[in-house]
A and B are shown apart, each in its own frame.
Chain A
Amino acid sequence: MSEKVKFEIRNVNLHYGDFHALKNVNMDIMENEITAFIGPSGCGKSTFLKTLNRMQDFEESARVDGTIKMDGTDIYKDMDGIALRHTVGMVFQQPNPFPKSVYDNVAYGPRIFGIKKKAQLDQIVERSLRQAAIWDELKDRLNKSALGLSGGQQQRLCIARALAVNPDVLLMDEPTSALDPISTSKIEDLAVELKKDYTIIMVTHNMQQAARISDRTAFFLLGEMVEYGPTAQLFANPSDPRTERYITGRFG
């Protein structure tokens, strides 16, 4: 397992208006690992994921307290939200390719950041699609609409789109919950492959998925992070009775 801390999270609280959505979260997320967040619906796991790339900046009522440091830099005080999202890419629950061609989807990020040269963009598009293990399927239809792809292909395209801007971290918010089992296993294999180069943080509603691919798992309940540890240990030997009740399927 990795030794280097990527995210250092201390006393993070999040409020939506009067609602206390995250309660005093403390954890260290390691580099080049897959960290899974599990927990029942509404437990705050997705909300917490979004604090890591400051997607809450776009929600009026959200207020984040505490410190989150990435590689030692406070991402709320010493970093620009846009620069942060450049480094911390995100993949969403529903595959959300833009209604553009496959090529334009992947080239979107680089173009936003000012890369205009065709040759350079071609190279980025090919590299990103190869990394997302979808180049062979899509190389002949780069100019076709991304909306015509299957759900699983769309999701891998979205991963390629996120990789195209060279992030360090990939946040995945239940990336397989809208997909069939075959597409799911492709995305899982891909995540394991990608952790060599990226830090991956994945929210999942599926405990087996967390057990299969993650190095560490955090269990959330009612806005609280109940337990966090190496995945094998958390599933085999949970220290908190609530974790045990959840992973044995007694609620959630």
Chain B
Amino acid sequence: MDKRIASAKRADKIATVIFCIIAAMFFLLLFGFAGYVIIRGIMSAKPSMFGFTGYDDIGNQLFNTIYLVFISLLVCVPIGVFAGIYLAMYAKPGRFTKFLRMCIETLSSLPSIVVGLFGYLVFLIVLGMDRSLLAGALSISIITLPLITTTTEDAIKGLPSGYLQGSLGMGATKWQSVYHVLLPACLPRIMTGVILAAGRGFGEAAALLYTAGSGSRLYWASTNIHSAVNPWNVMRPAETLSIQIWNLQVNGQNQDLANVSSAVLMVLVLAFSILANALSRHIQAKNAGQVSGGKKR
């Protein structure tokens, strides 16, 4: 009997140590990797690299990255949220819904280079767009769409069933219940999904290779929206930070600039990831300690 307890305790200790090692490994991996990229970026940095000329700096690329992701969110958030609402509230269990779910799962695990080729084929060849910010943004939305859809669906399904019942019991329609009660209640969780989607979009390169082009010169005072150097023109080619890194590495022109660009991208992605985490923690705390949520209002 004593022997059995002793050996069980030993196994317990060994398991604990293994888990701690694995956890430490993740910690080291992230910090080592992020630290390496950021420190090399700082070491290579020159003030001129943070300008907006389009020559040997990253300002325009940073703008392009944010603008492109913003446009892609404009496309994928409404579609994804509606798709999520449909799956959570309207889809009847059956073969069609099963198939639809399978499609969304497949879409979420699609290699981004394939999405890039798809974007090239559809937006450039079939629809006849040029390599442009819009074509890139649309390709990115294909990647982020399943993320938004599943977050929305999970968020709605995670709400207490009393919200829907209560609203229907008042004589509200299903849509009124969704719009006035369920959506506001799960908006913070959907926001978390949107931030994660933005994080994915920032780092994406493969899907943009064939679609976004590599324009980096912008004329900030331009008033002609059709001009290829007008920053707000979505039909112009646009080089993002990730594409810039790729270009610089492939052409071997300016290693220092690539380092800085990588560091900035890294910080951007980390910042969004931390923001998403903080937001979801805030929501969890609010849901758990409902009183504190009440006091704040």
Which residues from chain A sit less than 8 Å from chain B, CB to CB?
A: 53, 55, 58, 60, 82-86, 89-90, 92, 94-101, 108-109, 111-113, 143-149, 158, 161-162, 165
Contacts and interface: CB of A to CB of B under 8 A. Distances in A.
Nearest to B172: A112
A96 B160 contact: yes
30 contacts: A55-B168, A55-B169, A58-B168, A60-B92, A82-B171, A84-B171, A85-B170, A85-B171, A90-B169, A92-B169, A96-B162, A96-B163, A96-B166, A97-B166, A98-B163, A100-B181, A108-B170, A108-B172, A108-B180, A108-B181, A112-B172, A113-B171, A143-B297, A147-B290, A148-B291, A148-B294, A149-B294, A158-B166, A162-B169, A165-B170
Given A144-B297, A147-B294, A109 B166 contact: no
B252 interface: no
B230 interface: no
B167 A53 contact: no
Contacts of A84: 171
B184 interface: yes
B165 A92 contact: yes
Interface of B is mostly: helix
Contacts of B297: 101, 143-145
Contact of A145 (B163, B167, B169, B293): B293
Interface string B258-295: 00000000000000000000000000000000110111
A83 B168 contact: no
A68 to B, nearest CB: 17
A242 B178 CA distance: 44
Contacts of A143: 297
Nearest to A90: B169
Given A96-B162, A148-B295, A53 B169 contact: yes
Contacts of A108: 167, 170, 172, 180-181
B185 interface: yes
Interface string B152-188: 0000000010110111111111101000110011000
Contacts of A113: 171
A96 B290 contact: no
User: Among A83, A109, A113, A148, which residue has the most Cβ atoms of chain B within 10 A?
Assistant: A148
A161 B293 CA distance: 21
A95 B174 CA distance: 20
A108 B166 CA distance: 11
Nearest to A97: B166
B290 to A, nearest CB: 4
B171 A98 contact: no
A187 B200 CA distance: 52
Given A60-B92, A143-B297, A147-B294, A98 B170 contact: no
B157 to A, nearest CB: 16
Given A92-B165, A96-B162, A98-B181, A148 B293 contact: yes
